[in-house]
Amino acid sequence: MTKKPYLFVLALCFVLPALLFAGGNQESENSGKSLEIFSWWTAGGEAEGLQAMLDVFHEKYPDIEIINATVAGGAGTNAKAVLATRMQGGNPPDAFQVHAGHELIDTWVVSGYMEPVTFILKENGWMDKFPKDVIDIISYKGEVYSIPVNVHRSNVMWYNPKLFKDNGLEPPKNMDEFFTVAEKLKAAGVTPLALGDTNGWPATHLLESVILASTGPEKYRQLWERKVSWSDPDVQEALENYAKMMNYTNSDHAALTNMDAAGYVAEGKAAMNVMGDWVAGYYKSQDYTQGVDWDWMPTPGTQGNFIMLSDSFGLAKNAPNRENVIKWLEVCASKEGQDAFNPIKGSIPSRIDGDRSKYDAYLNAAMDDFASNEIVPSVAHGAAVSEAWITKINDIMSVFTTDLDVKKATIEFQAVADRYAPK
């Protein structure tokens, strides 16, 4: 009798791990019939949009079991940590969400974890259904590596029409006008620019628009390819402008999230805010009316340009259900799949032939601009730079937004560019 407890403990030590591994084996026996989709779309319109696209997939392939593996929290940070562990451990999910562009390419493609998906676009004759600028952003060495399911615009200025009207002002179209207008608003006791950078990246989000306004699209692209230096006069002008803009922001910006700041505009607490176009979906969900509570225009000085970011899915090497992933990517790239997902998510399709009647007024306007504008990649959202680089940029921004020291920031921006720009 006395021996038994020890034996029991010992037995447990050996049996438990065995059980765990048995679970693992079972999963792989299912392969061929299932599809695991890994994302951080857990809330509101995102999760519903994903579900709509899953429904499209299910209708086409009713036999394939869909495993919707979402990891909540941290704007994708938690999901990315789980993903990194799984990829490095040789257990990749079938399909995973990733920002199109360098976030995908520098992290996963260059390190050899991904398979090209050019053949999916070619076989379906879809190469010309995506704008060339988009194909460039998702390509590496001539091959396409991910299927973008949506497009968001970063360089949008949201403004409060009533505040502008009351003060007899027009929304600014370039930086000079911005500072004139901001000065007048400030004198009238209105906060000119709402910022909510408690999470860090909204400051970088604002900076990318300010840089584009000074450099134009060509130089903007070259800056992130390290062909233009940070001491270039146009880039310097942008940094000066950013520092100057901080005089016109709300004093509690470090305590607010980006959505709080967007809310300030609709509530009339601030006149302008620069944020991506998911704000339109947010306003809609809060029952604010376009033209009354809010309106939009491209950020000052960036008319004719479209800073894009996009969520995409790729094909990992050794994906357990490769055939099913390819079917899934076909749905992601199809008109049907994109038109199911995007109206609910509040983004526009990455294809040029979306069904306009399914999208609201703002999204239709965004689709017009996407079709006609110069498209450049977003920095804050992983299209133009790698995650390694952007985390360092966000750190520099955290200090720069506070001390407004252009000289010091320039040196630091250049140092991280030298270290992390693709060679």
Partner 1 sequence: MYCPKQETRKGLLVVLPLSAVLFVFVYGFILWSLKVSFSAWDGILPNMNFIGLENYRRLFSSQRFVTDLFNTLYFTLFFMVVCIVGGFFLSYLLYSRLRAEALFRTIYLFPLSLSFVVTGVLWRWVLSPEVGVNALFHMLGFKASFGWFTSTQSFGKFNYALISLIIAASWQYLGYTMAMFLAGLRGIPDQIIESAELDGAGEFRIIRSILLPMLKPITFSAMIVLGHISLKIFDLAYAMTGKGPAFVTDFPGLFMFETTFRGNHYAEGAAISIIMLLLIALVIIPYLYSTFRGEET
Question: Which residues touch 46 (CB under 8 Å, ≥6 apart)?
Answer: 345
Q: Which residue has the tokens 């037995």?
A: 11
Minimum distance from CB of 328 to partner 1 (Å)? 23
Q: Which of 39, 107, 160, 214 binds partner 1 (CB under 8 A)?
A: 107
What span, in angstroms and rounded, lies between the C-alpha atoms of 193 and 51? 36
Residue 295: how many CB atoms within 10 A of its CB? 18
Cβ distance to partner 1 smaller for residue 43 or 81: 81
How many amino acids of this chain bind partner 1 (CB under 8 A)?
Answer: 36
Indicate whether 231 belongs to the interface with partner 1 (CB under 8 A). no
What span, in angstroms and rounded, lies between the C-alpha atoms of 316 and 332? 16
Q: Which residue has the tokens 């938690």?
A: 78
Q: Which of 51, 70, 236, 398 binds partner 1 (CB under 8 A)?
A: 398
Binding-site string for partner 1 from residue 30 to residue 69, where x marks contact by CB under 8 A and - marks none: ----------------------------------------
Please give the torsion angle defined by the CA atoms of residues 337, 343, 346 and 350, in that order, rounded to the nearest 10 degrees: 40
Minimum distance from CB of 337 to partner 1 (Å)? 29
Q: Give the binding range for partner 1 (CB under 8 A) out of 145-153, 247-255, 327-335, 358-366.
A: 247-255
Indicate whether 401 belongs to the interface with partner 1 (CB under 8 A). yes
Reduced to 3 states (helix: H, G, I; strand: E, B; else coil), residue 2 is coil
Minimum distance from CB of 398 to partner 1 (Å)? 6
Reduced to 3 states (helix: H, G, I; strand: E, B; else coil), residue 97 is strand
- Footprint of partner 1 on residues 109-168 (CB under 8 A)? 111-113
Residue 344: how many CB atoms within 10 A of its CB? 19
Structure tokens at 421: 């720009």
Binding-site string for partner 1 from residue 353 to residue 392, where x marks contact by CB under 8 A and - marks none: ----------------------------------xx-xxx
Please, what is the Cα angle at 349 between 75 and 381, to 5 degrees? 30
**Buried-state track 262-282, b at ≥16 Cβ within 10 A, e below 16:** bbbbbeebbbbbbbbbbbbbb
Indicate whether 411 belongs to the interface with partner 1 (CB under 8 A). no
Indicate whether 255 belongs to the interface with partner 1 (CB under 8 A). yes
Q: Which of 30, 77, 231, 289 binds partner 1 (CB under 8 A)?
A: 77
Cβ distance to partner 1 smaller for residue 34 or 286: 286
- Footprint of partner 1 on residues 281-320 (CB under 8 A)? none
> Do the Cβ atoms of 324 and 132 come closer than 8 Å?
no
Indicate whether 254 belongs to the interface with partner 1 (CB under 8 A). yes
Q: Give the binding range for partner 1 (CB under 8 A) out of 37-45, 63-71, 155-163, 398-406.
A: 398-406
Indicate whether 19 belongs to the interface with partner 1 (CB under 8 A). no
Give the amino acid at 356: R
What span, in angstroms and rounded, lies between the C-alpha atoms of 8 and 125? 63
Reduced to 3 states (helix: H, G, I; strand: E, B; else coil), residue 255 is helix
What span, in angstroms and rounded, lies between the C-alpha atoms of 121 and 217? 27
* 88, burial (CB in 10 Å: exposed 0-12, middle 13-18, buried 19+): exposed
> Do the Cβ atoms of 379 and 393 come closer than 8 Å?
yes
Indicate whether 108 belongs to the interface with partner 1 (CB under 8 A). yes
Q: Which of 45, 53, 71, 80 binds partner 1 (CB under 8 A)?
A: 80
Minimum distance from CB of 423 to partner 1 (Å)? 12
Q: Give the binding range for partner 1 (CB under 8 A) out of 4-12, 145-153, 167-175, 231-239.
A: 4-12
- Footprint of partner 1 on residues 158-217 (CB under 8 A)? 197-200
Q: Which residue has the tokens 């790698």?
A: 386
Minimum distance from CB of 329 to partner 1 (Å)? 22
Indicate whether 87 belongs to the interface with partner 1 (CB under 8 A). yes
Cβ distance to partner 1 smaller for residue 246 or 297: 246
Q: Crossing angle of helices 44-60/335-345, nearest 10°?
A: 160
Cβ distance to partner 1 smaller for residue 5 or 24: 5
Cβ distance to partner 1 smaller for residue 192 or 200: 200
> Do the Cβ atoms of 283 and 45 come closer than 8 Å?
no
Contacts to partner 1 by CB under 8 A? 6, 9-10, 13, 77, 80-81, 84, 87-88, 106-108, 111-113, 197-200, 251-255, 387-388, 390-392, 395, 398-399, 401-403
